[in-house]
Structure 1
Amino acid sequence: MTVVKAIEVSHLTKRFGDKVAVDDVSFNVAQGEVFGLLGPNGAGKTTILRMMTTLLKADQGQVKIFGHDTVKEGSLARSMFGLTGQYASVDEDISARENLMIFARLNGLSRVAAKQRTTELLTEFSLVASADKALKNFSGGMRRRLDLAVSLITQPALVFLDEPTTGLDPRTRNQMWATIRKLVAKGSTIVLTTQYLEEADQLADRVAVIDHGKLVKIGTPTELKQQVGGTTLNFTVPQVSQMATTIKLVNAQLKTTVKQVGQRLSVVIRSVDQLGLVLTALQQAKIVITHLTVQEPSLDDVFMNLTVGKN
């Protein structure tokens, strides 16, 4: 089965004076996937997104949107995506309904079609009750939902979301996640920049970790976690007299380092089979353990492993 490329990014580079903000970055985004650009503030995520969406000219490299070069075929490429960001390009003094109508008309919809699309979006984004209030009275979450609604007026196949939940409370963030999942369910391709590890883990099919303008690693959240290391087995040995024997036994089974903090032991296992071997050996040696936990690596671990202290 042929994979349709929604985006092709080739050797993208951008400098601001002496600073290299984006350094020879390349990746593809498949149609229908959620692709996350993950990195700390200043890593280059938003600069990459601005170049992909033609808001910023690259010094080197090329971006194609559904096969169309964003420089040579800019208008055509721009017609294929919607963009929403941290700052909504809307009028504070008029209502959500009026803002949507204006943007719908600017996008070429007839008055009747604009009215219909406005009603659809107000309903879809749970803004009907506040549709006729001035935007200056909106909460941050309502503003963010309206911003996303504006970007979807033309029902684009590709949507760019630049840190869509920054500054939102946990409940509103979950509402935005639900909205994004609905878009994906309808077949949209999503490119998401975020500094929230949980957000990338929850939403993205694949994640590109960006640091100091470079693409450090790319893969599914699961693949990235597996590259950091295996699952961590933690347990407590209540009887101090059994500690040395326990460490020796676990070392013999796994051939790896056992970390000890007080009476608490931690060891990395690579498979469920290894977990079984350790537990069986401990049982046979009549070693009692308590507070057993099995901890999968998180995107936090990936992030720290790939970015901290690296230049």
Structure 2
Amino acid sequence: MATGRGIRVGLSTASVYPENTEAAFRFAADLGYDGVELMVWAEPVSQDLASVEHLVREYGVPVLAVHAPCLLISQRVWGSDPAAKLARSVRAAEILGAETVVVHPPFRWQRRYAEGFVDQVGELESDSHVVVAVENMYPMRADVVFGGRDRGAERLRKRGPGRAVSAYSPSLDPTDTGFAHYTLDLSHTATAGADAVALADRMGEGLAHLHLADGRGSSLDEHLVPGTGTQPCAEICRRLAASDFAGHVVLEISTQSARTRAERAAMLARSLAFARTHLDRPATRAITVGPETPRSTGVARVTAGPEGTDPGEPEDT
């Protein structure tokens, strides 16, 4: 996972929305990212492993991680059974040579899935080289209904998080349950009003994947360019660089405010520069772990399924 240059930095394909998966590969290649995290959602190309493998060859950019289709907007992608979709995501990662699958905790209404989630994650990891890294989430707060983005951030700074309800079972904090591996998302910690450093400490050596983004504490999940919000993005990166962290750091930012492709590229380049600056580790800590390129394997074609429409705005990433 880490290379002689240090920790590999990837680009989430969700970061280029409303552009598509191929655009993410193109940006990653042009800007010098080390790979991509494939967000599997309603866009047919993201669901079709043969198409993704073609993009890997076309742009020379590997898939470092696969984000399972567990967003509200991807509930029908790869079927309606969340357990089957998680298993399929791990198989996709194996085929693509990715080392990590990112997954959210189950929603509360997914009772059967929630009951077997811990066991399934453990079994998938024991049967595969793929790390299943469970991500921290955030609650739905009253600010979303009663206040705008800026009002929510200002109120959080003054009074702390307001009334909230978690949609996740048993908790939006995966360390409450306990897993072997975690994804730390710094936009989610902002929206949750959580202490990102304390959460990283609770994750400990299980912290295997970082979604690097920023937030101001708004009720809405902002995914800002790192360094433009209130989260300790630089500190978290420096802590990883000083440790034996052998996972990936993936920029998962929103570039929907970009009016042109050049503006989007500038946001992505600035984010990459931030990551590389703060993830710089001494040569003595620059270790090599895992495959440097995707393994040469057969590619199984995955059909798009019933949902082939515009994916809509990303959420809960």
Q: From the CA coordinates, give the structure whose radius of gyration is larger.
A: 1
| Higher normalized strand content (fraction of residues) | 1
* Higher relative contact order, structure no. (Cα contacts within 8 Å, ≥ 6 residues apart): 2
The alignment's TM-score, normalised by the length of structure 1, stands at 0.29
